[in-house]
């Protein structure tokens, strides 16, 4: 390690002053102490940097195992600079690159979203034909299922129109539930209108009107300014009880395929964009409402230039504190711990659940857990068995490496596709079967 520059300078000055009168003794003593303190601070900073570096490496090994090993540094389609083109020949989505900023404990430790554990609705359009409107949605306008570039993923292109809405076939909503989906934009730039936005409305009617009770959130898409997230609800006879705006800046997130997470617990409404929570309103859901529908619409975008896409819509009952459930019932099953398709790579937004499991283990040093991995029936049985084992191990590794849990308190077991909790003939059923189970030993 190099000698810090300040320490070198102090040492040189001290040598020059050695032959001077005794009056300089106090000065030399003070200078030496300053040099010593500077050296200590420099060492501390370097130690901090090394610790941070090791932490990031640990998270990378969990979230992206094998990263940079034997892979070209050139970005592929749809990642880090790629611009995938829709399969049906429409305009290439722009601004869809994913940022690869540092993964730090601070980011993931603050992500406290916990998805519901009973899937009510899931759609990735896997059963729909490209170019068709999805069978499990309704609209008073138009739209189509598309593929972007070489990716096998399917997206619903939502179109702007006067009061055009998109309504998925979600069952009546319970008191506690979560909503998740991915967004993609095309052609959004600094010339995009300041009114451009994506709106989600919770409603007690399944019509295309805005009658009855409702609550909605507007996510801005424009790029030339930092526009507000807007909140509004409505109670018949009272009007808008809440009509407010949250000042924030989600411009970069908008361009990089944001994952939107929403938790509704009674009247409380929370919203995250990626791992950051932007909205937490304790009494946003109007009293007396019995919400039955989700309604999506877009506004302020230019037809033929700007597009908005949505996929992986998941609505699940629950989203309550898993810690209490694990302690009281001795086991929990969750499909909120997510992995990359066909692999054991943990997706970052899974860390909210893993954090809660870690907190239970930290609270009671006597608890031991078995972690079980389960898959759907897609693919070969033997491959699914190995995948379930690897996924259980990935969760164990996260608990050990990120949260410091003693490895001796954790065991793993892969069940593959052998214990389904739903039929594997629909996206809903498959989503329920892809799960991780924690069992107190």
410-416 and 369-374 strand pairing: parallel
Instruction: Judge if 264 and 218 occupy the same domain.
Output: yes
Instruction: Judge if 226 and 299 occupy the same domain.
Output: yes
Q: Which residues contact 183 (CB under 8 A, 6 or more apart)?
A: 198, 219, 254, 257, 258, 259, 260, 308, 309, 310
Instruction: Judge if 148 and 40 occupy the same domain.
Output: no
Lowest mean pLDDT across 291-295, 355-359, 433-437: 355-359
Distance CA 376, CA 425 (A): 10
Residue holding tokens 């908008």?
254
Per-residue pLDDT tens over the stretch 37-77: 555 555 455 544 554 455 455 545 544 444 444 443 333 33
Within-domain flag for 82: no
Per-residue pLDDT tens over the stretch 167-203: 999 999 999 999 999 999 999 999 999 999 999 999 9
Within-domain flag for 153: yes
CATH of the domain at 402: 3.30.1330.60
Q: Which residues contact 129 (CB under 8 A, 6 or more apart)?
A: 145
Kindly report the number of other CB atoms within 10 A of residue 41's CB atom. 12
The number of residues in the chain equals 441
Nearest CA among 176, 140, 188, 113 for reference residue 349: 113
pLDDT of residue 13: 46
Q: Binning pLDDT at 50, 70 and 90, where does residue 214 land?
A: very high
Comparison of pLDDT for 167 and 404, the residue scoring more:
167
Kindly report the number of other CB atoms within 10 A of residue 132's CB atom. 11
Within-domain flag for 75: no
Entry pTM = 0.67
Instruction: Judge if 131 and 193 occupy the same domain.
Output: yes
User: Is residue 391's pLDDT more than 80?
Assistant: yes
pLDDT of residue 36: 54
Instruction: Judge if 38 and 121 occupy the same domain.
Output: no
DSSP-assigned letter for residue 381: H
Instruction: Judge if 314 and 330 occupy the same domain.
Output: no
Instruction: Judge if 314 and 356 occupy the same domain.
Output: no
User: Is residue 295's pLDDT more than 60?
Assistant: yes
User: Is residue 31's pLDDT more than 70?
Assistant: no
Contact between 260 and 271 under an 8 Å Cβ cutoff? The reply is: yes
pLDDT of residue 3: 47
Instruction: Judge if 298 and 326 occupy the same domain.
Output: no
User: Is residue 98's pLDDT more than 50?
Assistant: no
Give the rounded distance of the alpha carbon of 29 from its chain centre. Answer: 55
pLDDT of residue 38: 53
Total structural domains within the chain: 3
Domain that holds residue 409: 322-440
Residue holding tokens 């068995």?
385
Contact between 83 and 94 under an 8 Å Cβ cutoff? The reply is: yes
Q: Binning pLDDT at 50, 70 and 90, where does residue 402 land?
A: confident
Instruction: Judge if 143 and 253 occupy the same domain.
Output: yes
pLDDT of residue 40: 53
Q: Binning pLDDT at 50, 70 and 90, where does residue 287 land?
A: confident
Average pLDDT, stretch 201-228?
Answer: 93
Average pLDDT, stretch 122-149?
Answer: 95
Within-domain flag for 279: yes
Q: Which of 318, 335, 363 is the last residue of a domain?
A: 318
Instruction: Judge if 142 and 291 occupy the same domain.
Output: yes
pLDDT of residue 169: 96
CATH of the domain at 273: 2.60.120.560
Instruction: Judge if 129 and 177 occupy the same domain.
Output: yes
pLDDT of residue 335: 86
């Amino acid at each position: 390690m190099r000698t810090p520059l300040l320490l070198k300078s102090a040492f040189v000055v001290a040598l020059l002053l050695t032959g001077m009168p005794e009056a300089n003794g106090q000065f030399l003593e003070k200078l030496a102490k300053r040099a010593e303190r500077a050296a200590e601070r420099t060492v501390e900073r370097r130690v901090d940097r090394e610790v941070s570096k090791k932490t990031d490496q640990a998270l990378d090994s969990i979230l992206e195992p094998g990263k940079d090993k034997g892979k070209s540094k050139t970005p592929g389609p749809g990642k880090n600079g790629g611009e995938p083109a829709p399969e049906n020949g429409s305009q290439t989505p722009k601004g869809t690159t994913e940022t690869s900023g540092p993964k730090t404990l601070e980011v993931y430790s603050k992500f406290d979203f916990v998805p519901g554990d009973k899937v009510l609705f899931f759609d990735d359009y896997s059963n729909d034909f490209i170019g068709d409107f999805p069978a499990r949605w309704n609209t008073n306008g138009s739209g189509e299922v598309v593929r972007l570039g070489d990716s096998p993923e399917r997206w619903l292109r939502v179109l702007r129109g006067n009061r055009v809405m998109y309504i998925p076939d979600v069952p009546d909503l319970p008191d506690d539930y979560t909503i998740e989906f991915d967004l993609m934009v095309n052609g959004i730039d600094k010339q995009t209108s300041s009114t451009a936005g994506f709106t989600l409305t919770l409603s007690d009617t399944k019509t295309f009107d805005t009658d009855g009770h409702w609550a909605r959130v507007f996510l801005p898409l424009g790029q030339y300014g930092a526009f507000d997230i807007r909140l509004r609800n409505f109670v018949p006879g009272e009007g808008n009880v809440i009509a407010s705006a949250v000042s924030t800046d989600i411009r970069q997130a908008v361009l990089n395929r944001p994952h939107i997470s929403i938790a509704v617990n009674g009247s409380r409404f929370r919203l995250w964009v990626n791992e950051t929570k932007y909205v937490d309103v304790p009494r946003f859901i109007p009293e007396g409402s019995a919400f039955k529908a989700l309604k999506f619409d877009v506004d302020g975008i230019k037809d033929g230039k700007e597009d908005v896409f949505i996929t992986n819509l998941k609505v699940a009952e629950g989203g309550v504190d898993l810690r209490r459930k694990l302690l009281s019932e001795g086991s929990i099953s969750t499909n909120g711990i997510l992995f990359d398709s066909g692999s054991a790579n943990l997706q970052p937004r899974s860390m909210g659940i893993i954090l809660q499991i870690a907190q239970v283990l930290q609270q009671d040093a006597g608890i031991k857990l078995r972690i079980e991995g389960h898959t759907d029936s897609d693919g070969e049985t033997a491959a699914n068995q190995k995948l379930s084992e690897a996924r259980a191990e990935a969760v164990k590794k996260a608990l050990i490496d990120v949260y410091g849990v003693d490895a001796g308190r954790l065991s793993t077991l892969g069940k593959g596709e052998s214990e389904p909790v739903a039929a594997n003939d629909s996206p809903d059923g498959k989503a329920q079967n892809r799960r991780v189970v924690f069992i107190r030993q």
